[in-house]
Amino acid sequence: MKHLPLKEALFLGFCAALLIITKAAFRWHLGISGHAMFFTAFFLLLARGCVTFRAAASFTGLLAGIAAALLGMGKGGPLVIEKFLLPALAVDLGALLLPWLFGSMLLCALVGAAAGATKFFGTIAIDLLVGMEPAIAWRHSLIEAFAALAFGAVGALGIPPVLRRLRAYGVLLPETRKEPL
């Protein structure tokens, strides 16, 4: 954390704030599970793609989760933090394992889908915590995770073009990593 410049820390805070603002602004009751993962995956991948700090998405997810818990968003109380932190950990792990991730729409969609799939763990934990029958909790969690997986993948598709534009306008430094053959 001591090597994170102020400019990058402010950008991560900005991404966390945008994540909370979009969640608050788009509180649509569409009846579609997982639609909030669209913006979550986008802003977590944007944070990790713009900042070279290895835990950038996790830091952004933690900030957004704490802000959501303090603002009383959702019905989980302090458990709302895991709704932001688990997808952020998946994004950081994906960026660690695939350093060329941000140049490929397919890989971004894959990591966004993995971030969306983490909704399974939070949903099953809450369902079992309230005393739901395990068989029903598993089915419910799988349905929720599959929908979040799809929205996470779609939300992540916008990352490579946005990062290309930011580099073209000089907001980000040109990428120095080589893509594999």
Q: What is the pLDDT of residues 33-69, one digit of tens each?
A: 778 899 999 999 999 999 988 899 999 999 999 999 9
In a domain, 178, yes or no: no
Which sign, positive or negative, has the C-alpha torsion 155, 157, 160, 165?
negative
Q: At what angle do helices 134-156 and 105-117 cross, to 10 degrees?
A: 150
In a domain, 138, yes or no: yes
In this prediction, residues 23-34 reach a mean pLDDT of 75
In the predicted structure, residue 27 carries a pLDDT above the cut 80: no
In the predicted structure, residue 180 carries a pLDDT above the cut 50: no
DSSP for 115-174, please give it: HHHTHHHHHHHHHHHTT--HHHHHHHHHHHHHHHHHHHHHHHTTHHHHHHHHHHTTSSPP
In a domain, 176, yes or no: no
pLDDT at 181: 34
Q: Which residues form the domain of 60?
A: 6-168
pLDDT band at 1 (very low <50, low <70, confident <90, very high): low
- pLDDT digits over 109-120, tens only? 999 999 999 999
Mean per-residue pLDDT of the chain: 88
Q: What is the CATH number of the domain that holds 111?
A: 1.10.1760
Please give the Cα distance from 8 to 56 (Å, whole number): 9
Cα→Cα distances 28→31, 172, 180, Å? 9, 33, 41
In the predicted structure, residue 126 carries a pLDDT above the cut 60: yes
pLDDT band at 107 (very low <50, low <70, confident <90, very high): very high
Report residue 122 as tokens.
């939070």
CA angle 93/99/102 to nearest 5° reads 95
